[in-house]
Structure 1
Amino acid sequence: MAPSFLPLILLYLFSPSLISATVPPPQHTVQQVQRSLNSSRRNLGFLSCGTGNPVDDCWRCDPNWEKNRQRLADCAIGFGKGAVGGRDGKIYVVTDSSDDDVVNPKPGTLRYGAIQDEPLWIIFERDMVIKLKQELIMNSFKTIDGRGASVHIAGGACITIQYVTNIIIHGLNIHDCKQTGNAMVRSSPRHYGFRTMADGDGVSIFGGSHVWVDHNSLSNCADGLIDAIMGSTAITISNNYMTHHDKVMLLGHSDTYEQDKNMQVTIAFNHFGEGLVQRMPRCRHGYFHVVNNDYTHWEMYAIGGSANPTINSQGNRFLAPDRRFSKEVTKHEDAPESNWKNWNWRTEGDLMLNGAFFTTSGVGASSSYARASSLGARPSSIVSAITTNAGALVCKRGSRC
Structure 2
Amino acid sequence: MMIRLKHELILNSFKTIDGRGHNIEITGNGCLTVQDVSNIIIHNIHVHDCKPSGNTNIRSSPTHVGFRGRSDGDGISIFGASHIWVDHCSLWHCKDGLIDAIMGSTAITISNSYFAHHNEVMLLGHKDSNAPDSGMQVTIAFNHFGEGLVQRMPRCRRGYIHVVNNDFTEWQMYAIGGSANPTINSQGNRYTAPVDADAKQVTKRVDTEETEWTDWNWRTEGDIMVNGAYFVPSGVGLSAQYSKASSLEPKSAGLIDQLTLNAGVFGDPRDTSGISNPGFSGAGTTTATTADGGGGNGSNGDSDYFGMIFGSDGPPAHSSATSILLSLPIILVLYTITNHGALLSLQLLTL
TM over 0.5: yes
Q: Is the 8 A contact 1:137 1:162 kept in 2?
A: yes
Distance 1:398 1:237 in 2: 24
1:322 to 180, 191, 195: 195
1:235 and 2:155 correspond: no
Matched residues, number: 274
Q: Which runs of 5+ in 1 are unaligned?
A: 1-127
Distance 2:77 2:265 in 1: 19
1:355 Cα deviation (Å)?
0.1
Give deviations 1:113-144, integer Å, cap 9, x for gaps: xxxxxxxxxxxxxxx10011111010000000
Matches within 5 A, 1:181-260: 181-260=54-133
1:152 Cα deviation (Å)?
0.4
Give deviations 1:219-238, integer Å, cap 9, x for gaps: 00000000000000000000
Q: Which runs of 5+ in 2 are unaligned?
A: 268-314, 324-351
Which residue number in structure 1 is paired with residue 180 of structure 2?
A: 307
Distance 2:157 2:28 in 1: 30
Distance 1:264 1:132 in 2: 30
For residue 54 of structure 2, give the secondary structure of its aligned residue in structure 1: coil
Distance 1:367 1:191 in 2: 46
Which residue number in structure 1 is paired with residue 45 of structure 2?
A: 172
Distance 2:258 2:201 in 1: 24
1:352 Cα deviation (Å)?
0.1
Alpha carbons of structure 1 residues 326 and 160: separation in structure 2 relative to 1, 3 Å: same
Q: Is the 8 A contact 2:6 2:28 kept in 1?
A: no
Give deviations 1:91-127, integer Å, cap 9, x for gaps: xxxxxxxxxxxxxxxxxxxxxxxxxxxxxxxxxxxxx
Which of 243-252 and 387-396 deviates more? 387-396
Q: Which amino acid aligns with 1:397?
A: A
Matches within 5 A, 1:1-400: 128-394=1-267, 395-399=315-319, 400=322
1:397 Cα deviation (Å)?
2.5
Give deviations 1:137-189, integer Å, cap 9, x for gaps: 10000000000000000133210000000000000010000111111001112
Q: Is the 8 A contact 1:131 1:157 kept in 2?
A: no
Distance 2:154 2:318 in 1: 37
Q: Is the 8 A contact 1:151 1:173 kept in 2?
A: yes
Distance 2:165 2:238 in 1: 22
Q: Is the 8 A contact 2:30 2:72 kept in 1?
A: no
Q: Is the 8 A contact 1:167 1:212 kept in 2?
A: yes
Distance 2:62 2:54 in 1: 20
Q: Is the 8 A contact 1:315 1:350 kept in 2?
A: yes
Give deviations 1:358-391, integer Å, cap 9, x for gaps: 0001111322211110000000011122101100
Distance 1:231 1:386 in 2: 30
Distance 1:398 1:332 in 2: 45
1:396 Cα deviation (Å)?
2.7
Distance 1:199 1:255 in 2: 19
Distance 1:253 1:231 in 2: 8
Q: Which structure's CA Rg is the greater one? A: 1
For residue 384 of structure 1, give the secondary structure of its aligned residue in structure 2: helix
| Aligned-residue CA RMSD (Å) | 1.0
Q: Which amino acid aligns with 2:35?
A: Q
Q: Is the 8 A contact 2:187 2:221 kept in 1?
A: yes
Identity of aligned residues (%): 64
For residue 140 of structure 1, give the secondary structure of its aligned residue in structure 2: coil
Q: Which amino acid aligns with 1:195?
A: R
Which of 163-172 and 381-390 deviates more? 381-390
Q: Which amino acid aligns with 2:153?
A: M
Distance 1:280 1:249 in 2: 6
Which residue number in structure 2 is paired with residue 14 of structure 1?
A: none
TM-score normalised according to structure 2 size: 0.77
For residue 331 of structure 1, give the secondary structure of its aligned residue in structure 2: strand
Alpha carbons of structure 1 residues 398 and 242: separation in structure 2 relative to 1, 3 Å: closer
